[in-house]
Amino acid sequence: MKAKTIADIVTADIRTASIFKRHGIDFCCGGGKILSDVCKEKKIRVSKITNDIEKLNSTKNEKNNVRYISKSGFGAKCRNV
C-alpha cells in the first residue's frame, strides 16, 4: 500500500479521506503522490496511516459479518454465523 498514490487509496475506499485529512495530507490536488513519499515529507510513519486504514477495513468486515437466519419461521439477526 505504501507504493500506491493517495488518490488510488481514496478512490478504492472513500473513508480513507478522513484519515488523510486528519494527518493534513492532501488527497485531492496532491493525490498523485505516493503514500510513502508524502509520509516522509510530513514526517509521519507510514505504519500509522496503514494501521488506521486497516482499522477501517476491519470495521467494514465486522459490519459485513452479520447474517440473518430463520428460527421457528421468524428472521433472527445473528452475528458470526
| pLDDT tens per residue across span 15-74 | 999 999 999 999 999 899 999 999 999 999 999 999 999 998 887 665 555 454 444 444
Buried b (16+ CB within 10 A) or exposed e, 25-59: bebeeebebebeebbeeeeeeeeebbeebeeeeee
Question: Considering the domain boundaries, does residue 75 fall inside one?
Answer: yes
Number of domains in the chain: 1
- Does residue 1 form part of some domain? no
Q: 52 lies in a domain?
A: yes
Tell me phi and psi for residue 26, to 5 degrees.
-75, 120
Does the residue 61 lie in any domain?
yes
Q: Is 70 left (phi over 0), alpha (psi -120 to 50) or beta?
A: beta
Q: What per-residue confidence (pLDDT) applies to 65?
A: 52
Q: Are 31 and 7 in contact (CB under 8 A)?
A: yes
Residue located via cell numbers 486528519: 22
